[in-house]
Amino acid sequence: MDFAQIVQTVSLYAIPVLFAITLHEAAHGYVAKHFGDNTAHMLGRITVNPLKHIDPVGTIAMPLLLYFATSGAFLFGYAKPVPVNFAGLRNPKRDMVWVALAGPGANLIQAIAWTVLLYVLLATGVEEPFFLKMCQAGLLVNLVMFAFNLFPLPPLDGGRILVGLLPWKQAALVSRVEPWGFFIVMALVISGVVGNLWLRPLMMLTGSAIEVLLTPLRMLIL
């Protein structure tokens, strides 16, 4: 593996990844505070300081090891989850849906922002490949985080959204999966089920929606 290529890849993705995980987690905490739970606020987790959200193993060690082990073919990582006391929410079952949606929502907004930045750079005649590729990396990273976290299985955000939307009896059944949810998700990721049946289709759909949304801007400035 070319060391220079590794350094370039890390340089391109470092800033987009830090923004993606930081704003994702901070958004969870901010919305939880809005609906009555101050846990994240009291622990200093509603912040744009990435050091508060980085997990040494999940954010740094695991992605690097997987990158080297698979030559970049498979990457996986995670940040320190923002603690949320759902019992502290004013309406726990309803409000947990908004708290869970906040993280992927932050990634969707960032995906749009990186695309807008790409258009602006192109419109102003910036031809430096590094900055253009960083914008593309920002779009990709946030599309991945948006789609992956919406997978409907606890403890992912999509699972919490599902629990909040289902009737109490069905919600309780889905909640019981959470202790094993991480391992089930990992097995589905490794087997290709998540990637082929969920991640790629949702990323393509979301990317197309962003392209349509920004068509007027693209036509105006490019």
User: pLDDT (tens digit, 9 = 90+) per residue, 47-75?
Assistant: 988 888 988 877 777 777 766 666 655 66
Catalytic residue selected from 25, 127, 128, 211: 25
For this structure, is 25 an active site residue? yes
CB 163 within 8 A of CB 154: yes
What are 148-198's pLDDT values in tens digits?
A: 999 999 999 999 999 999 999 999 999 999 999 989 988 998 898 988 999
- Report how far residue 114's alpha carbon sits from residue 140's, in angstroms, rounded to the nearest whole number: 9
- Supply the pTM of this predicted model: 0.92
DSSP designation for 52: G
Q: What is the span of the domain harbouring residue 182? A: 3-221
pLDDT band at 19 (very low <50, low <70, confident <90, very high): very high
**Count of domains forming the chain:** 1
Closest to 98 measured CA to CA, from 47, 43, 106: 106
CA 49 – CA 189 distance, rounded (Å): 29
